Amino acid sequence: MDTTALATVRLDRSGPVWLVRLDNPPLHLMTLDMLAELAETFRRAAESDARALVLGAADGRAFCAGSDMREFAGLGEQAAERKVLVEDRMLRMLARLPFPTIAAIDQAALGGGLELALACDLRVVRQGVRLGLPEVKIGALAATGSQRLTKLVGPGRAKQLLLTGETIDAATARDWGLATEVVDGSAWERAVELAELLVSRSALSLRLAKQLVDEATDLPLNAGLVRASDALELIFASRELSEGVTSFLAKKD
């Protein structure tokens, strides 16, 4: 395993699986350094042969409890706006990675921490963990999170979280569709297990499936069906389909 330890982010590369951990204990608060290091990590992942990425946290009391408010309070207006823009760019980079991404949430994910998880494709949450967007309590706004959250859980439930600033538990998050899986044990271990399963699938199929689902919430149905047809043409022309069918038939025999 190849390990890279930055100031606030740790990266372990295990073959085609990238394991990324926030490492700013105890709450893994988002600083400008962390945002820049995450953005650089995701840029490198996009340009690599990575096939899946797991995002979690090192030991501490939270997956991520949001922005470092002490740092934020010390920034001037222009620097504070820059931090928000850097965070938005980093989240877009994560969401646009051309392979599956999995958030492993073993501790509370609050504010920017939940927004980070929302930018992933899958969210594995440990039983008993609390999730929320409490920004409204200090007169702030989870602007980016409002968009991704609404697409996942619908406007009513999104407003409940955004307007009250209250948290929900893992079971509720699963019922709402926010958590894709809730586990009694380690969310990190389950997320790594999922990543290893995903890299055994066709990279092209995964990339196109992710792309189609992401586009489905924005495109009219007919336009989405056209995109689906285009994707099928790519699949039928691929070597991966031919090899997959041959392997399947060989197992049947």
Please indicate, yes or no, whether residues 175 and 78 belong to a single structural domain of this protein: yes
**Which two tokens mark 7?**
């100031």
| Residues 129 and 232 both lie in one domain | no
Q: Which of 155, 175, 198 represents a domain boundary (last residue)?
A: 198
Predicted confidence at residue 38, as pLDDT, reads: 98
Same domain, 229 and 156: no
Q: Which residues pair with 21 in a beta bridge?
A: 10, 56
Flag whether pLDDT at 1 surpasses 50.
Answer: yes
d(CA 41, CA 6): 10
- Give me the phi and psi of 202, to 5 degrees please: -65, 125
Could you report the per-residue pLDDT of 11-69, keeping only the tens digit for each? 999 999 999 999 999 999 999 999 999 999 999 999 999 999 999 999 999 999 999 98
Same domain membership, residue 169 and residue 208: no
The CATH number of residue 164's host domain is 3.90.226.10
- Residue 226 and residue 150 share a domain: no
Number of structural domains in the chain: 2
Which domain-ending residue is among 158, 180, 198? 198
Q: CA-based angle 27:12:86, to the nearest 5?
A: 55
In this structure, are 131 and 148 located in the same domain?
yes
Co-location of 210 and 160 in the same domain? no
Q: Are residues 113 and 176 in the same domain?
A: yes
CATH number of the structural domain spanning residue 214? 1.10.12
Residue 246: predicted pLDDT: 46
Which tens digits make up the pLDDT trace of 121-139? 999 999 999 999 999 998 9
Tell me the C-alpha distance between 75 and 166, whole Å. 27
Final residue in a domain of this structure, among 198, 222, 237: 198
Shared-domain flag, residues 10 and 51: yes
Spatial distance between the Cα atoms of 110 and 121, rounded to a whole number of angstroms: 18
Q: How far is CA 162 from CA 78, 81, 120, 140, 165, in A?
A: 25, 21, 19, 10, 6
Whether 113 and 212 map to the same domain: the answer is no
% of the chain exceeding 70 in pLDDT = 94
Contact 91, 116 (CB under 8 A): yes
Answer yes or no: do 11 and 28 share one domain: yes
Residue 163 has pLDDT above 80, yes or no: yes
Range of the domain at 42: 2-198
Contact 238, 204 (CB under 8 A): yes
83 and 158 inside one domain? yes
